[in-house]
Structures are given as C-alpha cells and as structure tokens.
Amino acid sequence: EADIYQTPRYLVIGTGKKITLECSQTMGHDKMYWYQQDPGMELHLIHYSYGVNSTEKGDLSSESTVSRIRTEHFPLTLESARPSHTSQYLCASSELRKGQTYEQYFGPGTRLTVT
C-alpha cells in the first residue's frame, strides 16, 4: 500500500493568487514527480526530483515551481494562478524494484480550478 498524500484535494481560487499544492510520502522514496492531467487526457510530467535539493523540469512546460528540501516533501507552487492552470495535479514517488526498474505510486491528486 502506497503512502503518498496530497492536499488540498480540491481548490477553487481567483486569478492572481499564489498557491502551493502539498505532496508528502512516508515511504522514503528518493524520486518524486508532479504530473498535470486534464479531464480525459494523458498525464504530462511537469517536474521531477531525484532527491533532496534536486529538481528538474519535465516534458510539459509549466509556470509552476517546485522545491525538495526534505525527502518526504515535494510542494508545487504557482506564484500567480490563471484560468489556464485549471487542471488535476498528481504527485507520485518511485522506488527501485528488482529487475532494475522503478515503480511509481500516485497520490489522490489535487483538482485546481482558477476562476
């Protein structure tokens, strides 16, 4: 059973506000990820981290930023929310399994609506 948590689950906020989406995992995984998913669409990687003080941008350009000060915590911040940021944001972490491949475990997601 994966132990990865995201808060808030739902957020409705006005344009221009600063928001932080929280993600925490208690499994001690080094690698963590943020994905963006629009309804009925595929997941797009927007940020990832291979460990503390390591952050990289993913395939999909995003105006958000991330930080990784502690292994278990990987928050995502939007300095000024816009309606185009409306989406579901999914956090994941992964561990190395036998056979030298990583398996990802996802949080429940945060559904963000910017009005």
| Residues within the interface to another protein (CB under 8 A) | 6, 31, 33, 35, 40-45, 48, 50, 58-59, 90, 92, 94, 96-97, 99-109, 111
Closest to another protein by CB, 70 or 97: 97
Closest to another protein by CB, 18 or 60: 60
Structure letter (DSSP) for residue 59 = S
CB 21 within 8 A of CB 32: no
Closest to another protein by CB, 67 or 105: 105
Structure letter (DSSP) for residue 94 = E
Closest to another protein by CB, 2 or 13: 2
One-letter amino acid at 95 equals E
Smallest gap from residue 90 Cβ to another protein (A): 5
Smallest gap from residue 96 Cβ to another protein (A): 7
Smallest gap from residue 104 Cβ to another protein (A): 6
**Within a 13 Å sphere around the CA of 32, how many CA atoms are in the beta-carbon half?**
32
The answer to whether the bond into 83 is cis (omega within 30° of 0) is no
3-class DSSP assignment, residue 85? helix
Taking the C-alpha atoms of residue 53 and residue 41, their distance in angstroms, rounded to an integer, is 31
Smallest gap from residue 68 Cβ to another protein (A): 15
